[in-house]
Chains A and B, each alone.
Chain A
Amino acid sequence: MTKPPVNRPHDDLVTRAGVPSRYSTDGRLVLIPGDEPGLARALAALVEAGLPLRLVGIDPDDGPAVSLASFSRVTGVRATDAVAIVEPGTPWSTFEAALAETAFECPVFPAADPAALVLAVAAGRVPVRAFNPFGPRAEWVRDLRLVTPQGTVVRSPYSPRRATGPELRLPALALGAAWGVSTSLTVRVVPRSPREERVLALPDAGAAFDLLERLGASGDEASFLAEAHVTPKGSRVRIVWRHLALREPPDDLWRAEDTATWEPPSVEPFVAVRVPWGDATRAWLAGLSKPRRKPSALSGLRLWGPDRQGITAELAGFADLGAAAAAGVLPGDLAERVARLAPLRARLTMGGPA
């Protein structure tokens, strides 16, 4: 326990929440609920104080926050359903280590920080990579329990799909803690399976783009992870093929190029954007991957997750979308489209559930 600073401006919050707490070295209050009622009280105390609901390890480090350290267990793997049940404060690396002791693995993983919390990954607060077709959150976050600031628990019977109104739990995840905090997530896992890996050297971004588009157009198999590291001097495309579908990799793909080596790009902040296949995207990528005369804030370009609709582009060197937009590196009118939706996020989160 860190020694509390002399000035403890939020002691009233501690009293109201009635949960263990500590002050960090920079004077930030952290509430540490140990169970769902405690979590609800902690959230309610923040709401009553008119403070934003912040979670340690997920939201920016300013102001009082709630720690999910007591919700950090992998509580089970249901083999029959190929799902794992994990608590939100579990570091992703811990989750993967627990899965390693089973016959399963999760086909989704944080792109930059293996220590990211499960909730941060599930809520889209850290970029992820995934084997196709596990990209969309709905495909792999299959269920969750949500504790609201009002002290209720939002939950549903488990079902792979449903038609019982809007999917309220995914907006709840995406909107941060305002609608509540998940205390348990059910996540799709897949049987561990043999893999083959190839790295192909290609002369430029265009060639990498062509190859990834061809791979995406081949179908929506749950079989591969494809990523490209694009540089002005050439591109490397890495394809990992899982023999999950009992199908062999397409021969023409494997034989198309010489095998090269893969040097993972250094880990640094980036923003990830989904872009559609098409000439406009191709021109945008070509522009980004050209040698530049002036130093650019864009320090790296990586592509991954091709499907029939498009691919994810990771723009390294930017902490958030706003910074990427300011640098003018976002594709097409994405910045405007996001800007039109952003005010809705504020309105939906204001005051939490109505």
Chain B
Amino acid sequence: MSLPNDLRNELSQRLPGRVTWSSAALHAYRQDLWPRLQIRKRFDLSTAPEPLAVVQVTDEADVEVAVQVARAHGVAIIPYGAGSGVVGGTIAVRPSILLDLKRMARLVELDERAHVARVEAGKLGQELETELRARGFTLGHYPSSIHCSTVGGYAATRSAGQFSSRYGKFEDMVEGLRVYTPAEGWLEIDRAADEAAGTALLDAFVGSEGTLGILTRVDVRVHPAPAEEAYRGLAFPTLEDGWAAMRDLLQAGLKPSVLRLYDPFDSIVALKHSFHGDTPGADVDPLSLGALLSPLKDLADGVFGDVQRKALKRVLRHPGVTNRLIEKALKRCALILGFEGPKGQPAADMSRALALAGRYGAEDHGEGPGWHWLSRRHAVSFKQAPIYHLGGFVDTMEVATSWTSLPQLYQAIRDAVGPHVFLMAHFSHAYADGCSIYFTFAGLRDQVHDALALYDTVWEVGPSAALGAGGTFGHHHGVGLLKRAFLPREVENGAPLFARLKATFDPEGLLNPGKLWGTP
């Protein structure tokens, strides 16, 4: 559907200089980084319906006007940050105006005494962190998308960063919100008033994925920038040993900034060069597995010539065999452990952590692996392109559960997804009572419809297996279009509760329709 003239005229008049409907803009804004759309793009298929127009709001008055105009013309509004989502959370399912918030990007205020920063929702994560660091503070939120994701997006999707075991997930950081809702207008919600009033609105709006209101400002907890950091690489005899060490560490009250355990194969792909001597993966029998694994290791190393391309295709065409062999042959796994904080504390905490980890057979490989990981922690995202060039795809599935159910969850996903795609996992968001599993998977088919069918199969059996094993299907990527079919099983009988929120704040269904429990 193209932009109706009367809507175009009213947008132009009331929001001059902030509206675009150029084909280039609509083409760019119509999609996020959902890998299913990347597959379609790779095969030159259209990715997603275009929005009618994009409004690049500069202040709250613009937000209000845009919603008024949308309501008057019966079109939907989709709040949009930096488009780094991977679940299709901003895809228009009916005629919509996209509200790009990136021009609302000020660090409004930093209360250095109460350690709270007031930030406009369109602020990019890295820009915020840079400004905070310049003033001696840190947010402590480092998603791998930090350069291309916004504070509003973090709140809307319950994002998690790589240092979550010290600073928490984004919902743990939120102290307040300013939000515009079609029915109630502007709401200013702070934790103290929210608790005193008995409303729990912060819990309702955080994670609402643009369906209940438009977040324009977020108050977040900040921390003194760390004076020191300490890193270590540890190797464990088995995954179970690594899990037990992580659990003990957190239940003892230690708060590592980084606590990342890699399953045996991910240990090799992610960290093989940084561990010395008896590295994780050194127990691989080169005769049985070496040939199979070398293309994936080469990919990890950035070596990608014709030989590697052919070899990689071979591996990705037979994921079941590859996964089973790896499972049988590899046992040892690597953990990156980091602490940061005031002078003296990281080193002291590290020595306590090493003592605890030693109970589970941890071998200390020194500081190198940790610093290596830190310096290359965003590199993995740039290793996906070669697989797309082959006609394949890469995606991630972030599930979570209690420590009790973790082994079952890990195995359930491997059993369900492993026959279809090549997969590996790491465990990088851990809590005293449980842990998330971050599966990375890659698949390959020559024909686009086969590739899409394979992709859809994985996203059918994976979340289903997670729920069946007693876990959640989503730890920090949000729901979007990708996972919404599983919501009734994730929050059984939760739809009427969401409907009450929707009826209160957006009764006409203007905001991001077709997401969460909302109707298109």
Contact = CB atoms under 8 A, between A and B. Distances in A.
B302 to A, nearest CB: 31
Contact of A188 (B188, B207, B433, B516): B433
A165 interface: yes
Contact of A161 (B169, B195, B224, B348): B169
Interface centre among A136, A160, A310 (most CB of B within 10 A): A160
A354 interface: yes
A61 interface: no
Interface centre among B471, B478, B501, B502 (most CB of A within 10 A): B501
Contacts of B342: 219
Given A159-B400, A160-B435, A341-B189, A170 B203 contact: yes
A221 B253 contact: yes
Contacts of B421: none
Contacts of B192: 273-275, 334, 337
Nearest to A165: B516
A168 B195 contact: no
Contacts of B436: 160-161
Contacts of A3: none
A136 B205 CA distance: 16
Contacts of B195: 124, 274
Interface in B368-394: none
Contacts of A351: 500
Interface centre among B169, B198, B251, B473 (most CB of A within 10 A): B198
A159 B490 CA distance: 11
A29 to B, nearest CB: 25
B497 A341 contact: no
A267 interface: no
Contacts of B289: none
Contacts of A352: 500
A207 interface: no
A246 B494 contact: no
A191 B404 contact: no
A80 interface: yes
B61 interface: no
Interface in A143-201: 148, 150, 152-168, 170-176, 179, 188, 190-191
Contacts of A340: 187-188, 193
B209 interface: yes
B224 to A, nearest CB: 8
Contacts of A155: 491-493
B199 A154 contact: no
A142 B273 CA distance: 39
A160 B402 contact: yes
A160 B169 CA distance: 11
B492 A154 contact: yes
A276 B116 contact: yes
Contacts of B494: 154, 156, 165, 168
Given A159-B471, A338-B197, 16 more contacts: A160-B434, A163-B158, A163-B478, A163-B479, A166-B206, A166-B516, A170-B203, A173-B200, A188-B433, A217-B115, A221-B255, A245-B254, A247-B348, A278-B114, A344-B201, A354-B499
15 contacts: A150-B496, A158-B470, A160-B402, A161-B429, A162-B158, A164-B472, A164-B478, A166-B204, A174-B199, A219-B341, A274-B195, A276-B113, A348-B500, A352-B500, A353-B497
